[in-house]
Every structure is written in C-alpha cells, then in structure tokens.
Amino acid sequence: MKVRWKTVLWHVLFWIVFMSIFTFIEGGYQSNFDDAFYLEASYLPLRLALVYFNYFFLAPRFLFNNKVEKYTAYTLLTIIIASFLQRLAAFYIAIDLIFPGWDPGEFWQMYRVVQAAMILTLPMIFLMGFTVVLRWFDSERKMQLLTQEKTATELKYLKSQINPHFFFNTLNNLYGLAQEKSDKTADVVLKLSHLMSYMLYEANSDIIRLDDEVEHIKNYIALEEQRYEDRFSCNLSIRGNIQSVRIPPMLILPFIENSFKHGINKESEGAWITIDLSVENAVLQLKVENSINKIHNHNVLTEATNGGLGIKNVQRRLELLYPNGFVFSYQEEKDKYVINLELELEKLVKTRNDA
C-alpha cells in the first residue's frame, strides 16, 4: 500500500508540473494566465483518459509483453478517437463555457484535429517514455543481480570443492607419517589444526590480506618439509607490500599444492620447488617452478583437465573474479614445470554473497 500511494503522489506531481509549465508558456504569449490555465484544464479529462488507458491497459497487455505492433496500432487508434472527441469538446462545450466569442473554425479542419492529437499525446509521450525507461533500468538491475547471484553461487561451489580437496591431500600426508610411526606426527597434526582454523574462519571471507594467504602457504610448505624431510628444497621469495593487498582466499595455494603433488614423492631425490611472489603497481605476479617427477611424469594441467580439482577450480575462480584482469600460463620445459600468473588487483569483481 505504501508503494501505491508513493506512485500516486508521483503521478499527481507530474500533472501539476506539466500543467504549470504549459500554463506559463501559453499565458506568457497572451499575457493572460487565467485563460491559459482554463485551456489546459479543458484538455485534462481526455489527456487523463488517453494516458491511463495506455498506462494500465495497452502497455501491460501489449508493450511489456513484446507485442509492439499491436501496441502501436491500438495506441494510434485511441489517439485518433481521443482527438476527435477533443475536437467535439472544444467545438461544442469549451467555446461557450470558457472562450465565448472565439472562432473555432470548421469542425473538420484536419490541421485542428492533428493539433488536438498533439496536445493530447504530449503528456502520454512524457509519462510512458519515463515509465519504459524506469522499467528498462529495473530490468537491467535485476539481471545484474541475478548474474551476481549466479556468480556467487558458482564461486561458493568451486571453493567448497577446493577445501575438501586440500584436506584430502594433507590427511594423506598425515596418514603416511602415522604409518611410519614418525615422531613428527604430533607436530603435523598441530600445523594441520592451524590450517583447518584458517579454512573454517578466514577463508570464508570475501577477501583476505595477502600476507594471511602467504602465512597459510608457509604452513603448508612446513608440513611438506616434515613429510619429505631432505628429499627436496623449496625456495620461497616474497617481494612488495603484501600487507596492503586484498585477494580472495585460497587463490594462490592450489598452484603451490600442485607443484608439490606433481614434483615430489617418497622416492624423489634432489627435487626442488621455487616460488616467486611479487606485488608492484597493483599487479600481483606469481611464478612457480618445480622439478619434474620422473616417476609421475605428466603435466599438472593435463590432470586438472581430466578431473583434478585444484588448478581447474582456481582457473574458473579467476575467470569469475578477475574477468579480463589476469594472465595465466604454464609450460613444460626439459626438466621442470613453470606456472605464471599475473593478476590486476584492481579488477576484482564484487559479487553478492561472494564465497
């Protein structure tokens, strides 16, 4: 009810402003504002009938249902009928009551009928044009909201896959240590609890500080170092002010995780991983290189395409969160895999309920 009364008030205001403007214009020419007001008032009944027949009947039934041809035909028909009715009212009523002594000319003078049509149609053009524009903006807004909700839902689904995927791999690592009855098992469990805390709380935010993500990566590397001991070396290089940067959580770790997964195993000797992360001029650059696992010699991206969750999901998240704002590439060289990511931080898209 509140919305209806608000709409009514807007329409009343429209007619007051419309009549005031044309009363002022017409009265200014003749220096007679009283006659100008009465003239505008004489047009009002048929103007109201024409406008609101179109507004409440023709537009909802035809125009807003994409039946433009029928809407146009019926609108023209109602304008013609209203024009002749206005001519009748002017010829037989308005002259005697409002403008006695005024010569209206012959009734069937065509230019006077066209003049009546223009007088009646003008407010309809204003009001219906404004209504159509408002509906278009409202439709665009709703479409944008639907798109954002769809994107947010997909992002939430993608990240919900990444978390179990990560824990599945980490628990496998823990299982291996438990089988070996390693003294490091308790320390691994503690580090894993820190990672789970991160996943359950901080990683559910829309965005986090980059240094929080880096700390998470360091914990992951520490877990792998305890698992594989001296079978590999890992060099992590961080450059730039990462404290001031905000990114979606779990965006970088999958690249690191895959470099471990496909570059190192229990039989590895002399394996290595190099991670270079830098931030400069609102651009994040990540380069991950790892030695090729001779036993499992296959491309990490190939596996991702065939069903691996980590890289495939993070690629999709990048497409949704940074459209036209990232460059991702990978290549297999003679003895290593190389992954490069360049991210334009300012192009992060905001989504409703972002996961």
Q: Domains (ranges, CATH) in the chain?
A: 2-108 (no CATH), 148-347 (3.30.565.10)
Cα angle for residues 274, 275, 281 (degrees, 5° grid): 140
Q: What was the pLDDT predicted at 165? A: 56
CA atoms lying within 13 Å on the CB side of residue 204: 5
Higher pLDDT, 265 or 291: 291
DSSP annotation of 63 reads G
Q: What was the pLDDT predicted at 89? A: 72
DSSP, collapsed to helix, strand or coil, labels residue 272 as: strand
Q: What was the pLDDT predicted at 306? A: 40
DSSP, collapsed to helix, strand or coil, labels residue 251 as: coil
What are the φ and ψ backbone dihedral angles of 337, each rounded to 5 degrees? Answer: -105, 145
What are the φ and ψ backbone dihedral angles of 341, each rounded to 5 degrees? Answer: -130, 130
Q: Where are the alpha helices (DSSP H) in the chain?
A: 2-30, 33-53, 59-61, 68-89, 95-97, 110-179, 185-200, 210-228, 253-263, 300-305, 310-321
Q: Percent of the chain beyond pLDDT 90?
A: 10
Helix (H) or strand (E) holding 333: none
Q: What is the pLDDT of residues 147-203, one digit of tens each?
A: 565 556 555 555 555 556 556 666 776 676 677 776 767 777 777 777 777 666 666
What are the φ and ψ backbone dihedral angles of 322, each rounded to 5 degrees? Answer: -130, 60
Higher pLDDT, 141 or 97: 141
Please give the Cα distance from 33 to 49 (Å, whole number): 25
The stretch 314-327 carries a mean pLDDT of 86
> Which pLDDT band, with edges at 50, 70 and 90, does 301 fall under?
very low
DSSP annotation of 104 reads -
**Quick check: 2 pLDDT over 50?**
no
What are the φ and ψ backbone dihedral angles of 237, each rounded to 5 degrees? Answer: -120, 125
> Which pLDDT band, with edges at 50, 70 and 90, does 283 fall under?
very high
- CB neighbours of 354 closer than 8 A, spacing ≥ 6? 152, 155, 206, 207, 248
Q: What is the pLDDT of residues 245-268, one digit of tens each?
A: 999 888 888 888 888 877 776 666
Pairing of strands 271-280, 283-291: antiparallel
Please give the Cα distance from 259 to 233 (Å, whole number): 12
Q: What was the pLDDT predicted at 313? A: 76
**Quick check: 274 pLDDT over 90?**
yes
The stretch 345-349 carries a mean pLDDT of 87
Gyration radius (Cα) of the chain, Å: 36
Q: What was the pLDDT predicted at 354? A: 45
Averaged confidence pLDDT in the chain: 76
Pairing of strands 283-291, 326-332: unpaired
In the structure encoding, which two tokens stand for residue 264, read together? 């190192």
Which segment of 6-10, 57-61, 130-134, 226-230 scores lowest on mean pLDDT?
226-230
Cβ contact 228:264 at 8 Å? yes
Q: How far is CA 349 from CA 143, 254, 285, 327, 354, in A?
A: 16, 21, 19, 16, 10
> Which pLDDT band, with edges at 50, 70 and 90, does 297 fall under?
very low
Q: What is the pLDDT of residues 77-113, one digit of tens each?
A: 888 888 888 777 766 666 656 555 556 566 566 767 7
Cβ contact 350:151 at 8 Å? no
Please give the Cα distance from 56 to 264 (Å, whole number): 71
